[in-house]
Amino acid sequence: MNDVRHVLVLPDREAAEEAAEALGERFGVDEEPRIVRDALAGEDDAEDAQWLVVLADEDEALDPAALDEFAAEWDGWREEP
């Protein structure tokens, strides 16, 4: 079993929540993605935060290019592992 994870970086909480919900519908993801707030270094303001959607992909079944396009729909991107 591989410990492959994809991290989608999104601009706000609403986008992260919408994307996490849509992942199951679009990609048939069984495990609920985790949503994590990532404050930017040196920033205390809540507006200056990114939201991460962390998605397990133990079978390596998800296409990174498709996830790139998916994240872009919310003005986000996929971090390379």
Please report the pLDDT score of residue 47 as a whole number: 59
User: Residue 11 in contact with residue 50, Cβ under 8 Å?
Assistant: yes
Give residue-wise pLDDT tens across range 6-51.
999 999 999 999 999 999 899 988 888 999 998 766 555 555 688 9
- How far is C-alpha 47 from the geometric centre of its chain's CA atoms? 18
Query: Looking at domain 5-79, which of 3.30.930.10, 3.30.360.10, 3.30.70.3450, 3.20.20.70 is its CATH number?
Result: 3.30.70.3450
Name the residue ranges covered by the structural domains of the chain. 5-79
Please report the pLDDT score of residue 43 as a whole number: 53
Please report the pLDDT score of residue 4 as a whole number: 86
pTM of the model: 0.85
